[in-house]
Amino acid sequence: MIKVNFELNDRKITVNYYPFDIFPPASAKPIREFYDIWNKCRGDNRLPSRKDMKFEYMKGWHSNIKLTYMGLTPQDKKKNLILGEKYQQYWGRKTMKQQIEEMGKAGIPFMKKYHECLQHLYDGHYGINTGLCPNSDGSMRNMIWIDLPLAENSENMDHIITAIVPLP
């Protein structure tokens, strides 16, 4: 496991990166089911593709997910393709890269950390994130979310599917 602490716009986040074949720890129970869906869709491939993650497999998760086009490197343009309502409630509509770019020069150190975090995903890990996120009413809520890589060619990550849930 690789642990990274990240901070952005009052959000303090801890990310634990795991190799694809390592199951999430017991502390990640709220998002374990989503990992299981991803892992089943992966089958014998290194990574599943977007097409493998059929909408009907994610029953009950639709409002909590985000699908983002990531490109083939951390520096490539990012684009949110699907944003569930609950996901938007905590993260809004913009990609993290867009949020950092809007900070201008003040965002430079954050962008460096963001690229470092993404590189772990490109290098064969998935991420389990915990931290405080602002709710739409302005209050902060402790959340857990999982970033799972997808690849159209089953090898090189080009999308991420994320599922987020509040912690008790």
Q: What is the pLDDT of residues 9-30, one digit of tens each?
A: 677 889 999 999 999 999 999 9
pTM given for the model = 0.90
Number of other CB atoms surrounding residue 160 within 10 Å = 20
The answer to whether 28 and 143 are in contact (CB under 8 A) is: no
Please tell me the distance from the alpha carbon of residue 16 to that of residue 29, in angstroms, as a whole number.
Answer: 14
Return the higher-pLDDT residue of 91 and 148: 148
Tens digit of each residue's pLDDT (9 = 90 or more) over 109-151: 888 888 888 899 999 999 999 998 877 777 888 999 999 999 9
Instruction: Assign 114 to helix, strand or coil.
Output: helix
The answer to whether 149 and 46 are in contact (CB under 8 A) is: no
**Structural domains of the chain in order of their starting residue, each with its CATH number:** 2-166 (3.30.450)
Extract the tokens encoding 3: 């642990």
One-letter identity of residue 166: P
